[in-house]
């Protein structure tokens, strides 16, 4: 079987072991005579998947009974609106830290529902870095603070998270969730579209503290209410059952790899293979992100001109290195090196970059 190295930003590569397990269970899940895609979401078999996925996520993040894990739909883009609809009340202000396109979109949605304040932004430098702690200027009494943990388009990532005390901290972690250990108890709510680092597209994971469930607005349509989804264990309506099943397989795989500390070690080593080529190229490859803000999940860089970038992407594809073209808004190259991408893929890309530079330098 011929497999390529998939550097797409999302939907993205999945662990081969997970795909093979899903393949084995595809036609007959645990003796039911049905696929997971066919069984009722009210069945004991599916409820077991749902419950295990929540337990596995909480175990990996070190969270207790004061948090719930919800499996929703609509992507992170729906959470951009659902968060302010739920927590931004009349006369309140929500603070947003801008580090790229997705945080801008989150802010734009919040502005439709109430007062907002930009607590920090690195837009002026075209988002080459994460704001420093002393650059963050909060409003007087924010209802919550929102940040985006990793920026897929610009290739920047929070290396550590600020502590805002009792002010609820909310994060979009779609592209780097579970890539490294962090104190998840700092956060009142975390959301993540699954299609980058958790599983296939179709399910959005929301990790929410119990007090936030209790304070969320109840004047919203039922499908936009965190309390209803929590009360019904993410089964208020028919869930994206196969996607949740796949997320649970990925969570099992992460545990088998040694958890988040082991993943961080692998991810740092993988990213270094590529960053070392960039840094040693005498400017032939130019990284977008400042070194102290570099992402281990999305590595962005430019070549000397656009013709070389087109040739690079084309030749890489022929070499089995897929999805390296940068986002249309910034151009250049982007290598997404999520948890599931094997080290061999990063080594193959690093070798290709060296050979391309030698040939076209």
* SS3 sequence of the chain: CCCCEECCCCCCCCCHHHHHHHHHHCCCHHHCCCCCCCCCCCCHHHHHHHHHHHHHHHHHHCCCCCEEEEEECCHHHHHHHHHHHHHCCCCCEEEEEECCHHHHHHHHHHCCCCEEEEEEECHHHCCCCCCCHHHCCCCCCCCCEEEECEECCCCEECCCCCCCCCCCEEEECCCCCCCCCCCHHHCCEEEEECCCCCCCCCCEEEEEEHHHHHHCCCCCCHHHCHHHHHHCCCCCCCCCHHHHHHHHHHHHHHHHHCHHHHHHHHHHHHHHHHHHHHHCCCCCCEECCCHHHECCCEEEEECCCHHHHHHHHHHHHHCCEECCECCCCCCCEEEECCCCCCHHHHHHHHHHHHHHHHHHC
- Residue 148 contacts residue 192 (beta carbons within 8 Å): no
Number of separate domains in the chain? 2
In a domain, 1, yes or no: no
In a domain, 10, yes or no: no
- Distance CA(185)–CA(205), nearest Å, equals 16
- Residue 257 burial (CB < 10 Å; 0-12/13-18/19+)? middle
- Distance CA(304)–CA(322), nearest Å, equals 21
CA atoms within 13 A on the CB side of 254: 31
**256 known member of a binding site:** no
**Per-residue pLDDT averaged across 69-90, rounded?**
98
**337 known member of a binding site:** no
Residues 85 and 213 grouped into a single domain: yes
Residues 287 and 208 grouped into a single domain: no
Question: Domain boundary residue among 202, 235, 257?
Answer: 257
In a domain, 12, yes or no: no
Beta strand 204-209 pairing with 67-72: antiparallel
Rg of the chain over Cα atoms, rounded to whole angstroms, equals 21
Residues 44 and 151 grouped into a single domain: yes
**195 known member of a binding site:** yes
Which residues lie closer than 8 Å to 299 by C-beta, 6 or more apart?
A: 155, 271, 274, 275, 278, 287, 334, 335, 336, 337
- Distance CA(348)–CA(345), nearest Å, equals 5
The pLDDT of residue 160: 97
The pLDDT of residue 328: 83
**99 known member of a binding site:** no
The pLDDT of residue 207: 99
**Per-residue pLDDT averaged across 38-43, rounded?**
97
* Percent of the chain whose pLDDT exceeds 70: 100
Extract the tokens encoding 331.
């151009």
- Residue 303 contacts residue 333 (beta carbons within 8 Å): yes
**42 known member of a binding site:** yes
In a domain, 180, yes or no: yes
A 10 A CB-CB count for 138 gives: 15
**73 known member of a binding site:** no
Residues 320 and 174 grouped into a single domain: no
In a domain, 7, yes or no: no
Range of the domain at 155: 17-257
The pLDDT of residue 170: 99
In a domain, 314, yes or no: yes
* Chain-centre distance for alpha carbon 214: 26
Residues 294 and 333 grouped into a single domain: yes
Residues 194 and 226 grouped into a single domain: yes
Residues 345 and 312 grouped into a single domain: yes
**Vertex 138: Cα angle to 132 and 142 (nearest 5):** 140
Extract the tokens encoding 128.
């080459």
- Distance CA(248)–CA(62), nearest Å, equals 17
Question: Domain boundary residue among 223, 257, 291?
Answer: 257
The per-residue pLDDT of the chain, averaged, comes to 97
Q: Would you name the residues annotated as active-site residues?
A: 102, 172, 196
The pLDDT of residue 1: 62
Task: With 0.95 as the threshold, say if the pTM is over it.
Answer: yes
Residues 147 and 28 grouped into a single domain: yes
In a domain, 147, yes or no: yes
pLDDT band for 329, please (50, 70, 90 cuts). confident
């Amino acid at each position: 079987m011929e497999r390529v190295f998939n550097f797409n930003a999302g939907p993205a590569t999945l662990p081969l072991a997970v795909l093979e397990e899903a393949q084995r269970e595809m036609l007959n899940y645990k003796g039911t005579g049905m696929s997971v895609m066919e069984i009722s979401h009210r069945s004991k078999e599916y409820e077991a998947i749902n419950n295990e996925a929540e337990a596995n996520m909480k175990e990996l993040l070190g969270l207790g009974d004061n948090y719930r894990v919800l499996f929703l739909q609509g992507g992170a883009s729906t959470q951009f609106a659902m968060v302010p609809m739920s927590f931004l009340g009349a006369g309140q202000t929500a603070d947003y830290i801008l580090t790229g396109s997705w945080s801008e979109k989150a802010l734009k949605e919040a502005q439709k529902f109430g007062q907002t304040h930009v607590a920090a932004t690195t837009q002026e430098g075209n988002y080459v870095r994460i704001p420093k702690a002393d650059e963050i200027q909060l409003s007087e009494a924010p209802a919550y603070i929102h940040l985006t943990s990793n920026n897929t388009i610009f290739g920047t990532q929070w290396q550590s998270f600020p502590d805002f005390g009792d002010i609820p901290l909310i994060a979009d972690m779609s592209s780097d969730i579970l890539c490294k250990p962090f104190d998840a108890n700092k956060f009142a709510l975390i959301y993540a579209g699954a299609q980058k680092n958790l599983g296939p597209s179709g399910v959005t994971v929301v990790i929410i503290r119990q007090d936030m469930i209790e304070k969320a607005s109840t004047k919203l349509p039922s499908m936009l209410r965190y309390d209803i989804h929590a009360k019904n264990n993410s089964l208020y309506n028919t869930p994206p059952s196969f996607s949740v099943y796949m997320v649970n397989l990925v969570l099992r795989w992460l545990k088998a790899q040694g958890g988040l500390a082991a993943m961080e070690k692998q991810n740092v080593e993988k990213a270094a293979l590529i960053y070392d080529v960039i840094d040693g190229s005498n400017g032939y490859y130019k990284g977008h992100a400042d070194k102290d803000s570099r992402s281990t999940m999305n590595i962005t860089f430019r070549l000397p001109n656009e013709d070389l970038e087109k040739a690079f992407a084309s030749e890489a594809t022929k070499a089995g290195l897929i999805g390296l073209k940068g986002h249309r808004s910034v151009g250049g190259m982007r290598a997404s090196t999520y948890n599931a991408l094997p080290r061999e893929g990063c080594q193959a890309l690093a070798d290709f970059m060296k050979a391309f530079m030698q040939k076209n330098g």
